[in-house]
Structure 1
Amino acid sequence: MSDKFQQALALLAPLATLPDWGIGGSLLLVERQLQEDFRDIDLVCSEAIAPELAARLQQFSTELPVAAHPQYCSRFFRRYRHHSGLVIEVMAGIQVRQAGAMRQWLFAPNRCEQRHDLPWMALTDWLELYQLFERPEKVALIRTALASVR
């Protein structure tokens, strides 16, 4: 794995003792060797643990301003920048407005798997999220990977 990947793992290590969160997004795709690089670190957590996760992140990173988005309406969303330049996004209570309706996605922490001493979300969960976020290229990438293991 790349130095950037190792740096991300080291950055997240202090969070390992917290319950009910998982790593997803492009970092998950890199960890599963489905793509070579990641843009940011996506963490999904329960709404109950979100304030504690945010407080821990603020100990070693800077919170960035987040503008309201007309489509992405999660009940908890924060963005942080670590001094290394890595950006971390925390999401809980994920909701997306589509065709005038609010669609919710429920995080199931019991579906996370421990690898590299950290909780990693299931690819199938990110297939659902990328569908919800209308990211067809990521949906196709995960579908291809899941089809190859069947």
Structure 2
Amino acid sequence: MIDIVPFSPPYARGVVDVILPIQQAEFGIPITLEAQPDLRDIPGYYLRGNGNFWVALDGQTVVGTIALLDIGENQAALRKMFVKATHRGAEQGVARRLLETLLAWCRKRGVREIYLGTTAKFFAAHRFYEKSGFREITRAELPASFPVMAVDTRFYRHNV
């Protein structure tokens, strides 16, 4: 049974243990924990305004993450959506449940638009976002407040 719960400090190490191996080993992205200050201070970075951070738990083990960064004007950035390979796929539904949790939060909080940036390497993620109602946009269509990461080459928008 997978539970989706808001982040709390005891899950910090589990979040890193999910995200870094996917970035580094699975997709060969040369990024370190030090280059991601948000992962070292999740409450300070995400838990403000309309932002939040959730984890998917299999028992007490973190198997997935998703974050929402408030960028102002009832807009937000979807960040840090990762699911361990062992828990991916429609049959498990972990990614879907993480996204549904985020979207329900957005509706409750009055967030109108969600933006995201991703790397060209995440082909399965592109399909997932597109099936979930995200539409690809150009970098020029992003709000000025959207924090573009160095690895971001594809961008999406979802009207809530």
- TM-score w.r.t. length of structure 2: 0.28
- TM-score w.r.t. length of structure 1: 0.29
- The higher relative CO (CA closer than 8 Å, separation ≥ 6) is in 1
